Amino acid sequence: MQEAWLMGLCLWAAVTAALVEATTFNLTILHVNDFHARYEETNVFSGRCSDEDKSKNKCYGGFARLKTAVDMERDKSPNVLYLSAGDYFQGTIWYTVHKWRAMAHFLRLVPHDAMSLGNHEFDDGLAGVVPFLKEVPFPVLASNLDDTLEPSIQGLYQRSTVITVGGRKVGIVGYLTTETMVIANPGLIDIGDEVVAVRKEARRLRREEGVDIIIALGHAGFAKDQQMALEVEEVDVVVGGHTNTFLYSGKDPSTEEKMGEYPSVVTQRSGRQVPVVQAYAFGKYLGKLELSFDERGELASWSGNPILLDGSIPQDESILKELVPFRQQLEDKMKQQIGRTFVFLDGNRQSCRLRECNLGNLETDAIVHENAKYPDDMKWAHTSLAVQNGGGIRASVSQMENNGKAPLCSSS
């Protein structure tokens, strides 16, 4: 009798475990943000990776290593989403020379399931982002844009997308910081409140498309990501960017100082808990968040950490070959000399972002000098004044290096 009872108990436990496994949905989210044109591997501070860095195996990131990491993670699990929270544009000579074209090319080779727009995607106006949107092979998202007065971009991005993963519908809703209207050049696009827009679209996905798992994917900063998690009841997880926030559980793996645990968890008024993640910046890390949902689509558990893309992860050979012709064009540009200095031109961020600096003076004087040649009623007045934001000055020029010669652009 006792043996029969034990056999029955074991059978019940096995059936129960099978039912739980059958109704549990596991999802892995891989994510990057604020890549900022780091096509090639970089040093520990996300600058140029020197020969010395390479010899010491101290290089990180780059598209070739990122592709390997994404492929490895996709092989481990059938239910994977690879997302970007925006700002692929701007940051290195690669963007200065190649603009949107190279980025669209490599994102076709290392494609996302979805991406949100970032403010830097609008740095060169609609002329810089519209052709990019036409070329990338995945949905680009932003739910809080009103493009009524800008027909050229209409239909090239979406408020949201629904992806079927492992038989489950997963909705992804995009959002973009309202600061874009001030710090970038989105033309006549009006950018509305991020939380209001995501809430409206998330409710539509639940009501009209039967989606019970919703990811908010956006570029508005960590504080806004947390607000999104707190105030939008329909959202299950928030994947963000813009503030380059480094979250990590455990000992910091490199030089970045962590701003909190990964994921950061926000508790809504109802008691629901919503994970919030970012993955620092510059492609140095690949965020990896593992989620488990119950049969109702409610988040039951989570775990994960950003993966440091260091030398332990090999670079994909096919991507390295694709980089060669683009790199050659950069080398040709870098050989062009545009001037020479006999003094140190201070472009240090601690100088130019806080006070007057001589490199800033040179830049603004040059702007005045050039524009004064072409006065008209619309673009130039009698007041000879130019303004340069301190954050746009990225590096110093030394009279001691290269005999004071200033190249058109540098590789760092």
- Which burial class, exposed, middle or buried, applies to 65 when counting CB atoms under 10 A from its CB (0-12, 13-18, 19+)? buried
Residue 198 parent element (H or E): helix 194-209
Look up the pTM and report it. 0.86
Q: What angle do CA 303, 304, 310 make, to 5 degrees?
A: 170
Predicted local distance difference test score (pLDDT) of residue 90: 96
Predicted local distance difference test score (pLDDT) of residue 16: 42
- Mark 6-21 as b/e (b = at least 16 C-beta within 10 Å): eeeeeeeeeeeeeeee
Predicted local distance difference test score (pLDDT) of residue 380: 63
Q: Are 146 and 3 in contact (CB under 8 A)?
A: no
- Which burial class, exposed, middle or buried, applies to 262 when counting CB atoms under 10 A from its CB (0-12, 13-18, 19+)? buried
Q: How many CB atoms lie within 10 A of CB 297?
A: 16
Tens-digit pLDDT string for the chain (412 aa): 556 555 544 444 443 444 444 579 999 999 999 999 999 999 999 998 898 998 888 999 999 999 999 999 999 999 999 999 999 999 999 999 999 999 999 999 999 999 999 999 999 999 999 999 999 999 999 999 999 999 999 999 999 999 999 999 999 999 999 999 999 999 999 999 999 999 999 999 999 999 999 999 999 999 999 999 999 999 999 999 999 999 999 999 999 999 999 999 999 999 999 999 999 999 999 999 999 999 888 999 999 999 999 999 999 999 999 999 999 999 988 888 878 888 999 998 889 999 999 999 999 999 888 877 777 666 666 667 888 888 888 788 887 666 656 665 554 4
Strand 264-267 versus strand 285-293 pairing type: unpaired
Q: Which are the contacts of 300, defined by CB distance < 8 A and separation ≥ 6?
A: 24, 292, 293, 294
Q: Are 319 and 106 in contact (CB under 8 A)?
A: yes
Nearest to 364 by CA among 392, 344, 340, 406: 392
Predicted local distance difference test score (pLDDT) of residue 408: 57
What is the rounded distance in angstroms from the CA atom of residue 66 to the CA atom of residue 38?
Answer: 11
What is the rounded distance in angstroms from the CA atom of residue 23 to the CA atom of residue 13?
Answer: 15
Domains observed in the chain: 18-308 (3.60.21.10), 345-396 (no CATH)
Predicted local distance difference test score (pLDDT) of residue 391: 82
- Helices 93-109 and 63-76 cross at an angle (nearest 10°) of 30
Predicted local distance difference test score (pLDDT) of residue 21: 47
* Alpha helices in 247-377, H assignment, sequence order: 317-334, 349-352, 358-371
- What is the phi-psi region of residue 242: left when phi exceeds 0, alpha when psi lies from -120 to 50, beta otherwise? left
Predicted local distance difference test score (pLDDT) of residue 289: 99
Q: Which residues pair with 42 in a beta bridge?
A: 48, 60
For the chain, report the end-to-end CA distance as a whole number of angstroms.
Answer: 77
Q: Are 402 and 331 in contact (CB under 8 A)?
A: no
Query: Quick one: tokens of 346?
Result: 């201070």
What is the rounded distance in angstroms from the CA atom of residue 36 to the CA atom of residue 391?
Answer: 15
What is the rounded distance in angstroms from the CA atom of residue 24 to the CA atom of residue 250?
Answer: 27
